[in-house]
Structure 1
Amino acid sequence: MTATRDTEGTGHAVPWLPYGLAGVKIVFILAVFRLLSTPFSEEMFGEQWLPMPTWDWALASATPTLLVLLARRPADWTALSGELTFLRIALTFYLVYGLAFAALQGEAVLWTSVLAGLVGLVAIHLLNHKEPAHDS
């Protein structure tokens, strides 16, 4: 989990993957809390404090996809391999919610979360089946 990348060309390695993964987990927890807060407030207090998620859901669904696309180097992908189950769960959750509400309630912006979920899941599948490069 300590894969590093020299992003500035200075020769010093910058650890970025643990921070990116922590960010994805925090965003996922906040997105689930945000999703559940609307029916909770309506049930407990008789009024809806927040509308159902739309653009914020689309933004949250892009975070695991960005992490997967940024960690496509073999060293980064190897370090991320222990967290693939969590990433699949998050991407599937974003995909299912986005698809249900985009199709049933006509929220066009949620098609972005559907696209992000599909891209992320396809990227995970392709990167898992990619053979490592061998130097001859």
Structure 2
Amino acid sequence: MPKRLLIVAHAPSPNTLRLREAAERGARHPDVENVEVVVKAPLEAGPEDIRACDAILLGTTENLGYMSGALKDFFDRSYYPVLEKKQGLPCALYVRAGHDGTGTRRAVEGIVTGLRWRWVQEPLILRGDWQEAFVERVEELGLYLAAGLESGIL
């Protein structure tokens, strides 16, 4: 039975949409055959999506030193319904940060710690002015998660 990777990423701009698409492209790499990839915007995702997945990749913008309101809403709706059911869920995060991303990272880490999910990689903070390299880095993160799920190391 294939494993399921859930990508929940806020994409309010063309560039952040490119990041979400890159995460999906990486996760759907042709060499990864036994992973189902589900991609949703935070306002469309909920606890049932978390319960059905084997790993989760979160993506957000830095908004006033915090995560996007959409991702916060996702956590608000999902936290208690999955709290006891998905402990140890492998997770990763990318942040598109116009500034330093520290507050955003800290906020998401606090929620993930409460959920007892398991970080499989340091959060990827894409700081400062837009760089094309951001797309490649997020694509690699998607591939890493999918390949890790398929091989059983996550």
> Same fold, TM exceeding 0.5?
no
Q: Which structure carries more strand by proportion?
A: 2
Question: Which structure has more RCO (C-alpha within 8 Å, separation ≥ 6)?
Answer: 2
Normalising by structure 1, we get a TM-score of: 0.29
Q: Which structure carries more helix by proportion?
A: 1
Q: Which structure has the greater CA radius of gyration?
A: 1
